[in-house]
Every structure is written in C-alpha cells, then in structure tokens.
C-alpha cells in the first residue's frame, strides 16, 4: 500500500521516545503528549516499561484477562489515518493503516484512541486534546502519520 497525502488531509508525526504527536489536522496545529504501548493511557493502572520504548516496537500483545501482557509501541513507518469512527471497544477512534506490511513486525490493529481502563497495546493515546484531534481528523477526512523512534531522526536500535 502506498501512503499518500491528499490536499487538506491531516499530516501528523509521532515520536515514540518523547511521546509527542505533532502536525496539522482540519487546518489546526497540534502538539500533544501521547502514549503508545505498555498499557499507556490506562485509567486503572500505571504504564509498563514498554510504554514509549523504541526498543519494544516488536513486542506483541499476549494473553487475556489477568494474564494479559501489553504490546509495545507501534512500529516505525508511514500510516494512513482513517476518518474517525465508532469502534465497539475503543469508542471514537481513527484507524491507522500501515504503508507497508513489512514494517509491522507481525503486528496490526493500531488506532488513535482515547484513554480508557485498558490503555494501549501499541495504539496512540493522547493525554489531552483527544476530542479536538478527532474533530479535526473528521474535518480533514483522515490523513497521514509518520512514526519515528525519536525527534531529530534519532535511532535506538
């Protein structure tokens, strides 16, 4: 799949290590702190050591219930951001579609979604400004997302 930006579409970047989501959507600038992986954004428990850890992007979610182990942050690369929609478990969320299956490290099912009891298994969970971001993504009909390990092109592995 080829990820291409279209006129008026959102253009966002997420930096795993810093936990920052920046760019424009719906004609508005965004600079939000966000968590990815390790249960980050959970309203019930603190995040684990895999949250926003660039070394853990290949960590897959495992188990259910009490034996659940959260996945790491989403893998580095380009994603299409779908227009937000109601998800049965996440509520309002914007699906992230990878630009290349090869970048995914055997993982899938990523979204931008709100905080909740479970937190993140790799999805991006803004700590504030979620409604405003979803409204802007709706207005722009989705867009593109670039995920990097760290700001300034920092590579960790």
Number of Cβ atoms within 10 Å of the Cβ of 58:
14
Q: Which structural domains are found in the chain, ordered by start?
A: 10-151 (2.40.440.10)
Query: Quick one: pLDDT at residue 152?
Result: 86
Query: Quick one: pLDDT at residue 67?
Result: 80
| Predicted TM-score (pTM) above 0.85 | yes
Enumerate residues 6+ apart whose C-beta is below 8 A from 142: 9, 10, 80, 81, 82, 83, 94
What are 92-148's pLDDT values in tens digits? 999 999 998 778 888 999 999 999 999 999 999 999 999 999 999 999 999 999 999
Helix (H) or strand (E) holding 143: strand 143-148
12 to each of 43, 47, 116, 136, how far by Cα in Å?
25, 24, 23, 12
pLDDT of 1 above 70? no
- At 9, list the tokens: 């579409």
Task: Yes or no: say if 24 and 133 are a contact pair by the CB < 8 Å rule.
Answer: no
pLDDT of 66 above 90? no
Alpha helices for the chain (secondary structure H): 130-139
pLDDT of 149 above 50? yes
Region 33-42 average pLDDT: 96
Enumerate residues 6+ apart whose C-beta is below 8 A from 20: 14, 31, 32, 33, 34, 151
């Amino acid at each position: 799949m080829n990820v291409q930006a279209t006129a008026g579409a959102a253009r966002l970047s997420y930096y795993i290590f810093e936990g920052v989501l920046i760019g424009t959507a719906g004609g508005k600038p965004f600079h939000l702190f966000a968590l990815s992986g390790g249960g980050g954004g959970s309203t019930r428990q603190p995040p684990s050591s895999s949250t926003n850890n660039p070394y853990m992007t290949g960590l897959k979610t495992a188990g259910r219930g009490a034996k659940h182990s959260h996945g790491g942050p989403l893998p580095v690369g380009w994603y299409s951001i779908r227009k937000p929609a109601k998800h049965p478990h996440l509520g309002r969320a914007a699906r992230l579609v990878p630009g290349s299956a090869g970048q995914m490290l055997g993982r899938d099912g990523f979204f931008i979604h709100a905080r909740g009891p479970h937190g993140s298994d790799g999805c991006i969970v803004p700590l504030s400004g979620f409604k405003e971001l979803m409204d802007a993504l709706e207005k722009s009909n989705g867009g593109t997302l670039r995920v990097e390990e760290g700001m300034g092109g920092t590579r960790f592995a």
